[in-house]
Amino acid sequence: MINEAAIRLALVAGESSGDQIAAAVVKKLFQTQHTLAIRGVGGPALAAAGMQCDVDIDALSVRGYVEVIRHLPRLLRLRKNLIQGFVRWQANAFLGVDAPDFNLEIAATLKAKGMPCFHLVGPSIWAWRPERKWKIAQSLDHLLLLFPFEQVLYRETGLATTYVGHPMADQISFNPDQLLARQELGFYHDPHLCRLAAESESSRWFCLLPGSRNDEISHHAALMLDVAQALALKYPKAIFLMPAASAGIYAQLQSIMSRQVRVASQRIILYRGRARACIAASDQVLAASGTVCLEAALIGRPMVIIYRMPALSYRWMRRQQRQAWVGLPNILAQKFLVPELIQSQATNQAIVRALEWQWHDQPAREALMASYLTIYESLRCDCASRCAAVLQSVLLSR
């Protein structure tokens, strides 16, 4: 049972990434605030950290416009119930993590009732719809930001912001040992993988990252397998590691692979999860644009970024886009550190050319590693401790 006399923090985390980020912050808070109570929406990581999860995080796992519309009545009821519950509980502050469309509405209502409201992970106004910053500022008392360039974007709104660094940089060792990663993936234990590893010792290892959503797999997986086929014809001993973000994605990838007989089929290894190890074990990465591109940069692996989507969605995105780049490493560097091939540019031949150019231009790869290290050092700030310090300053004053 939660101690009703405790300092009380209401928390709503969205998606598994929000669960992980918030859990690290909660652990830091509990280390120093032994009378603290936290409750709200969370997943297994937050529950393990000591939060009372009144609602499971899966309740917010709705993607796509059609799905959101179908679930809208339920989500509106959930939001109303959470607000009423937090007010009855007399929470001292509210923290939303990710899920800005859901959390900012909660924050706006609670802020109007006098409750200090925080949000961790700034919405991507640097990518599109920068006008959202005014509504964000009205909804919050304080915004905790993962990227150093974000603070200047909110300066004119008057919203208090703190750059806390990126939690992924705290978790990752830069340029980890490839052999250890390959061992972790079973290449020196499983007989089949042992044989492949022995054959490929002096060849190239690629990591294929087609995305974490069903529609991304539909647009990228077959293309990446075509690229693997072309590379396997040039490098018969090459190995291709393809981690699946979920059990559903794993089944989807298996289905796509079974429909296409390929020269490379015996050298494509499909994993359930293990993306970080697959990236670390590889020499080069081919990735659909997303957070995983930042992960590859923090690990220190050369990459080529691609992205495809329906034509209508692409036209809308282009109208809203405020950056010349799509991939996070390029946005952070404010230049093309790594190639981006978007929409019609993302062809089999163009991707192979980009991978080959990147691999054979040794000075460019050395410069890329230096830029990666700069990004890594700028983002490695002990994110959880910084977040906890900001929250403590308010919680202890209530």
Q: pLDDT, tens digit, for every residue of 183-233?
A: 999 988 888 888 888 887 778 999 999 998 888 899 999 999 999 999 999
- Flag whether 297 is in a domain: yes
Q: Examine the domain organization and report whether 160 and 210 are in the same domain.
A: no
- Flag whether 49 is in a domain: yes
Q: Examine the domain organization and report whether 138 and 209 are in the same domain.
A: no
- Flag whether 22 is in a domain: yes
Q: Can you give the three-state secondary structure of the chain, one letter per residue?
A: CCCCCCEEEEEEECHHHHHHHHHHHHHHHHHHCCCEEEEEEECHHHHHHCCEEEEEHHHHCCCCHHHHHHHHHHHHHHHHHHHHHHHHHCCCEEEEECCHHHHHHHHHHHHHCCCCEEEECCCCCCCECCCHHHHHHHHCCEEEECCHHHHHHHHHHCCEEEECCCHHHHHCCCCCCHHHHHHHCCCCCCHHHHHHHHHCCCCCEEEEECCCCHHHHHHHHHHHHHHHHHHHHHCCCCEEEEEECCHHHHHHHHHHHHCCCCCCHHHEEEEECCHHHHHHHCCEEEEECCHHHHHHHHHCCCEEEEECCCHHHHHHHHHHECCCCCCHHHHHHCCCCCCEEEHHHCCHHHHHHHHHHHHHCHHHHHHHHHHHHHHHHHHCCCHHHHHHHHHHHHHCCC
Spatial neighbors of 260 by CB under 8 A, at least 6 apart, are 222, 225
Q: Examine the domain organization and report whether 18 and 83 are in the same domain.
A: yes
- Flag whether 349 is in a domain: yes
Q: Examine the domain organization and report whether 16 and 152 are in the same domain.
A: yes
Q: Mean pLDDT throughout 295-323?
A: 82
Total domains, the chain: 2
Q: Examine the domain organization and report whether 102 and 234 are in the same domain.
A: no
Q: What is the pLDDT of residue 162?
A: 97
Residue 210: give the domain boundaries. Answer: 171-379
Q: Examine the domain organization and report whether 228 and 113 are in the same domain.
A: no
Q: Examine the domain organization and report whether 389 and 355 are in the same domain.
A: no
Q: pLDDT, tens digit, for every residue of 225-262?
A: 999 999 999 999 999 999 998 888 999 999 999 887 67
Residue type at position 108: A
Q: Examine the domain organization and report whether 109 and 157 are in the same domain.
A: yes
Q: What is the pLDDT of residue 62?
A: 57
Among 52-56, 72-76, 350-354, the minimum mean pLDDT is found in 72-76
Q: Examine the domain organization and report whether 95 and 228 are in the same domain.
A: no
Q: Examine the domain organization and report whether 350 and 212 are in the same domain.
A: yes
- Flag whether 1 is in a domain: no
Q: Examine the domain organization and report whether 188 and 139 are in the same domain.
A: no
Q: Is the pLDDT of residue 69 over 80?
A: no
Q: Look up the CATH number of the domain holding residue 265.
A: 3.40.50.2000
Q: Examine the domain organization and report whether 176 and 140 are in the same domain.
A: no
